[in-house]
Structure 1
Amino acid sequence: MHFRVVTYNIHKGIGGRDRRYRPERIIETLAHLEPCILFLQEVDEDVPRSRHHHQTEMLAAELGFSHLAFQRNVHLKQGWYGNAILSRFPLSDVESCDLTIPLKKRRQALLARCKLSVGDHSRSLLLANMHLGLAGPERTIQLRRLLKHPMLAHAHKDTPILVGGDFNDVWGRLGRKVLEPVSYQNAGGMHRTFPALFPMRPLDRIYYRGPLQVHHAFASRTALAREASDHLPLIVEFTCRE
């Protein structure tokens, strides 16, 4: 079963260079990539800066996704922003994992079970989408806390798992320190995704565990992707063994 996953910090649909809210750029960028599963960060809901759009529902409608989940992370004066998962396959068991560190910005991970189905074949896949903190010790605590969540901690060793999002980890030390010792592998390498206009830092990652094979991974560097957000989308193509 072949499928494509994209993780993308959309920066509320606000361009990294012109600071203008133009969600059509995000929509066109993602439509061109034809993802099966989307991990999105910095997604607005009913916020004035983004015209009070409910961006998860808007993006799902524009891109033709039938299955979606949104997680409210930060409560603003009006509205929220947080993480979202969009999928062409059914989602169930949607849960939140609180990653907040005292005196730091509220952070959570959004988890879900996805029923991957291609032709006559189907497979359950676990998803975890997150936006980690800015400080190294904070990120380490957050990622270890996520791995202790029952959905991941109690998963069978043959259950495929994807953990992705904005890791805010420039050198990749976090994955080597926390994820790789418990059998997760870096699917996307060290593709630079930030800042979008002149990408220098590989902040966005997808890690996987279980019967998955990576075929291709890249950061989209189209002219439109460089303008749409302050991050570039990271794309990974997988095959799930039956």
Structure 2
Amino acid sequence: MRLATFNLLHGRTPADGAVHADRLHDAVAGLDADVLALQEVDLDQPRSGGVDQTALAATALGARHARFLPAVVGTPGVAWRPVRPDDVPGADPTYGIGLVSRHPVAAWRAVPLGTSPAVLPLLVDARRPALVRDEPRVALAAVLEAPAPVGTVVATHLSFAPGFNLLQLARLARAVRDLPGPVVVLGDLNMPGPLAGAVMRGWHPLVRTPTFPTERPRIQFDHVLASAPLPVADARAVATGVSDHRAVVVELAR
């Protein structure tokens, strides 16, 4: 089984700042993942051509099982609000995370992880700092049908606020401990390499490699963590030409 996680940056290519569906399709297809966790995913956003990026990723991988979980309504960096329970799907542009699987999914679970009150300076498109309000954070778990090397896969994108993301990761571990194992958490955790493994005591990092920024990665923000030891045949970061993050691919040994 090949597991992967990819922060899409809503499909934007850093080289020219453009968003093209065909580039994103080819980037995802090149990962050839059996399970793919997606972060910074657009649905019906004008900036990305109104594309359902989770469905596009599923098509690129030939996967029949996929789900998008919105975190906000509107466009980050422009105007947005948290998703509400009474929101009508498809009524407005949304943004969040996705999970795609070639393996059949027996059950899905959405996990709210809360919102940091932080407003912090972050680098924006022009590569200059701007004060940014944090977004609501969520996780999406998929219980895989047997036979599969893992029982449950979880996609997430945690807060950029130091400390609050640690609380979210601990909250996520509690929220999925009743699901079939081994459980694998994949995503942009917004915390440097060893810290994620230290927070998830008893969990096992399956990859240790810098993933950000994509040109010359210096820090690992993107992680794959397992609730039990799993045999790894290969683990690496992949420059796709899309996004400011490298994708992470983990190949489990047979």
TM-score, structure 2 as length reference: 0.81
Between 1:46-55 and 1:206-215, the stretch displaced more is 206-215
SS at match of 1:153: coil
1:49 corresponds to which residue?
47
For 1:204 and 1:116, locate their aligned partners in 2 and report how far apart those are by CA, in whole Å.
27
Change (3 A) 1:116 1:84: farther
1:154 corresponds to which residue?
178
Q: Equivalences for 1:118-133 in 2 at 5 Å? A: 122=148, 125-133=151-159
2:8 corresponds to which residue?
10
For 1:115 and 1:188, locate their aligned partners in 2 and report how far apart those are by CA, in whole Å.
25
Q: Deviations over 1:47-85 (max 9, x none)?
A: 110111111112212331111011011111541111111
SS at match of 2:140: strand
Q: Equivalences for 1:71-220 in 2 at 5 Å? A: 71-76=69-74, 78-103=92-117, 104-117=134-147, 122=148, 125-149=151-175, 152-155=176-179, 159-176=181-198, 178-179=199-200, 181=201, 183-189=202-208, 191-210=209-228, 212-220=230-238
SS at match of 1:206: strand
Q: Deviations over 1:113-139 (max 9, x none)?
A: 01254xxxx566111111011122111
SS at match of 2:186: strand
For 2:207 and 2:221, locate their aligned partners in 1 and report how far apart those are by CA, in whole Å.
11
For 2:11 and 2:218, locate their aligned partners in 1 and report how far apart those are by CA, in whole Å.
21
For 2:12 and 2:185, locate their aligned partners in 1 and report how far apart those are by CA, in whole Å.
25
1:40 corresponds to which residue?
38
Structure 2: gaps (5+ residues)? 80-91, 118-133
For 1:46 and 1:116, locate their aligned partners in 2 and report how far apart those are by CA, in whole Å.
34
Instruction: Tell me which stretches of 4 or more aligned residues in structure 1 moved more than 3 Å.
Output: none
Percent identity at matched positions? 29
Root mean square deviation of aligned Cα? 1.8
SS at match of 2:225: strand
Q: Aligned pair 1:233/2:247, yes or no?
A: yes
Change (3 A) 1:17 1:36: same
Per-residue deviation, 1:92: 2.7
Considering Cα pairs closer than 8 Å and 6+ residues apart, tell me whether 1 or 2 has the greater RCO: 1
Letter in 2 for 1:212: L
For 1:68 and 1:143, locate their aligned partners in 2 and report how far apart those are by CA, in whole Å.
23
Q: Deviations over 1:146-193 (max 9, x none)?
A: 1121xx22246xx211011001112431321x21x2x2100011x111
Q: Where is the helix percentage greater, Structure 1 or Structure 2? A: 1
The alignment covers a number of residue pairs equal to 222
Structure 1: gaps (5+ residues)? none
For 2:99 and 2:115, locate their aligned partners in 1 and report how far apart those are by CA, in whole Å.
23
SS at match of 1:8: strand
Letter in 2 for 1:65: A
Per-residue deviation, 1:100: 1.5
Change (3 A) 1:136 1:174: farther
